[in-house]
Amino acid sequence: MKEQSTGKGFAILSAATMAVKLLSIIYMPFLLRIIGGDRPYAIYQVTYQIYVFIYVLTNTGIPSAISKLVSEFMAVGNYRSAIKAFKISRFLLFAIGIIMAVFMFAISKPLTEYMNYREARYSVIALCPAILFTSVASAYRGYFQGRSNMKPTAISQVLEQIINTVFSLSFAAIFIGYGVEAGVVGATVGTTLGALASTVYLIVTYEKNKHIKVVNFDGSKKFIKHTNNQVLRRIIKYSVPITICIGITNAGNIIDSYNITARLIAGGALKNYAQSIYGMYGKYMTLSNMPITIISALAMAILPAVSKAVALKDKKLIGNKINFAFKTNFLIAIPAAVGFSVLGDPIYRLLHLGDGYKIMMFGSIVVILMALVQIQTSILQGMGRLYVVTFYSVLGLVVKFIVNYILVAVPSINIYGAIIGSIAGFILPIVLNIIYMQKILKLKIDFLSYVFKPLVSSIFMAAVTYVVYNILIYLLKFIIVGYLNNAIALFISIAVGVIAYFYSIVFIKGISKEELDIMPNKIKKIIPKRVFSNIE
């Protein structure tokens, strides 16, 4: 099985996550049309917040531990321990998947009632089998990532989303005739079927590629034979902190679901209206997660790379990987946030998302902050310092909850209080993580240098995009009116904006050859050669 570089692995995962996210965004307006608008979408959103929380508790920690342990053992040639770590983890995940699926079924009624969304109960129950399937799939994904082979993970994600999209829309359309609750249940069926298909694909791929040449050294190079208990202790040591950390973050989303709706009602809104407002907020979160999924791919690719550097005790390599991660993070997150801010209205009109584009315009900065926290978490996890980042995340959630509680109930602030709360809740752990990383690494992390050039290029991109879009809207109205007018102008202005950003970042020397390697070869071939002469 061929090992991939961090950049190549990130490129593969980011391409897959882009495809997955595009499918989910295309899926959203069709689902809204089928189930009937913002309030039903709020029920759907709450259902998935609960599902994602259980999913995270089940599938985040141990797969990350697999990736880290497999990477560490293979870095020093200890293949037997790497396979042992995978097999023990796979069994654990299967057992935990069964337990958590039953747990999710048991809490579906009391939790949805407490959150003021009792209509979501049966859709939560419908997702219980998906927890078991995804737990098995995540074991194999962790193994492949530990071997720095991101291709199986990427293919499985795309396969899962295609099946999810097709079957969820189909069953939603069939079930909606029985009411909104039934329609939302139908919209969850594809998730379970997609998870099953993804699991089968990963198992088949593993069976075809599982053989590793085991090297035994009788001379100076001898390896410790790890017992099952030793490996299990290391799995627990690595998985528990990441589960707690990301579990707390996702618990914050569930708290948001309850807190935002409850505080809107406390501010004078009727329940149905409050749920509709939360539905708008849910659309914003779905869209803003598109660039975040790319950053997640970077985080997954950087984790084994940092773990390997730590295992080799190569401080210079650790520093290089961290710098690469932060720089790439800002190269992606900043233009995405600026683009959402400038094009929020036309994007909403393109996707038939109705009201709420101002939430996207105002909340786009959260994309940058969320992406940065994700990268910091992955780096500190790779260094074995996740208890620290977990504690900082808890502090951030406390701040977020307090700000939300106070501001969302103020009628003049309303849902924007949740965005202000998110900003405050992310800034605190970001600052604390930076201070801690600089302290333990003895490495100066100059975030201003990472931010400045992408920000300059993004501002240039925004200006170009805004001008091109408005010129096209004016010219096209003499030929085409309505939906196509906006769609054509938007697609062309986005394409021009991407080109403007790329040329600008190259011109001011804001991108290196290592970052350029992330791009697919087919795209690099169409870039004029003179552009590469300006890249160091």
Cβ atoms < 10 Å from Cβ of 526: 6
Tens of pLDDT, residues 242-271: 788 778 777 777 878 888 888 898 888 888
Place of tokens 């198992």: 203
Q: How much is the pLDDT for 149?
A: 78
Percent of the chain predicted with pLDDT > 90: 31
Q: How much is the pLDDT for 311?
A: 67
What is the torsion angle, in degrees rounded to the nearest 10, for the CA atoms of residue 62, residue 67, residue 68 and residue 74? 140
- Does the structure show a pLDDT above 50 at 497? yes
Tell me, what amino acid is at 424? A
**Segments making up each domain of the chain, as ranges:** 6-211+228-445, 450-532
Percent of the chain predicted with pLDDT > 70: 86
Q: Are 415 and 408 in contact (CB under 8 A)?
A: yes
Spatial separation of the C-alpha atoms in residues 298 and 157, rounded to whole Å: 15
Q: How much is the pLDDT for 10?
A: 57
Residue closest to 359 by CA, chosen among 413, 415, 287? 415
How confident is the model over 472-479, as a mean pLDDT? 89
Tens of pLDDT, residues 298-317: 666 666 667 667 667 767 77
Q: How much is the pLDDT for 519?
A: 56
Tens of pLDDT, residues 206-246: 888 766 554 444 444 555 666 778 888 888 887 887 788 77
Tens of pLDDT, residues 502-533: 889 988 887 776 666 655 555 555 566 665 56
Tens of pLDDT, residues 432-472: 988 888 888 777 777 788 899 999 999 999 999 999 999 99
- Does the structure show a pLDDT above 90 at 108? yes
Q: How much is the pLDDT for 504?
A: 92
Spatial separation of the C-alpha atoms in residues 184 and 182, rounded to whole Å: 5
CA distances, 362 to each of 95, 341, 423 (Å): 43, 7, 11
**Burial (CB count within 10 angstroms: exposed 0-12, middle 13-18, buried 19+), residue 12:** buried
Q: How much is the pLDDT for 217?
A: 44
Over the chain, what is the mean pLDDT?
A: 83
DSSP state of 304: H
How confident is the model over 154-171, as a mean pLDDT? 90
Span of 34-38, 372-376, 382-386 with lowest mean pLDDT: 382-386
CA distances, 332 to each of 26, 150, 290, 294 (Å): 21, 20, 11, 8
Q: Are 450 and 430 in contact (CB under 8 A)?
A: no
pLDDT category at 493 given cuts 50, 70, 90 is very high
Q: Are 378 and 300 in contact (CB under 8 A)?
A: yes
